Amino acid sequence: MIATDFFTVDTVTLRTYYVLFVIELDTRWVHLAGITTNPDGPWTAQAARNLLMNWNHKTRFVIRDRASQYTRTFDNVFAAIGADVISSPPGAPNTNAFAERWVRTVRHELLDPTLIWNQRQLRRLLDEYLAHYNSHRPHRSLAQRSPDDTQPAEPIELNTRIKRSTVCGGLINEYRPTA
Chain segment 88-146, per-residue pLDDT in tens: 988 887 888 999 999 999 999 999 999 999 999 999 999 999 998 888 777 777 767 77
52 — pLDDT class (breaks 50, 70, 90): very high
What's residue 143's pLDDT? 66
Taking the domains of the chain in order of start, what are their residue ranges?
2-177
**Residue 77: half-sphere exposure toward Cβ, Cα within 13 Å:** 19
Phi, psi of 113 (to 5 degrees): -85, 10
Q: For the domain made up of 2-177, give the CATH fold.
A: Nucleotidyltransferase; domain 5 (3.30.420)
Q: What angle do CA 97, 99, 105 make, to 5 degrees?
A: 100
Q: How far apart are CA 176 and CA 102, in angstroms?
A: 24
Average pLDDT, the chain: 90
Are 50 and 34 within 8 A, CB to CB?
yes
In this prediction, residue 21 carries a pLDDT of: 97
Mean pLDDT of 14-40: 95
Q: Residue 9, SS3?
A: strand
State the pTM of this model. 0.88
For residue 137, the one-letter residue type is R
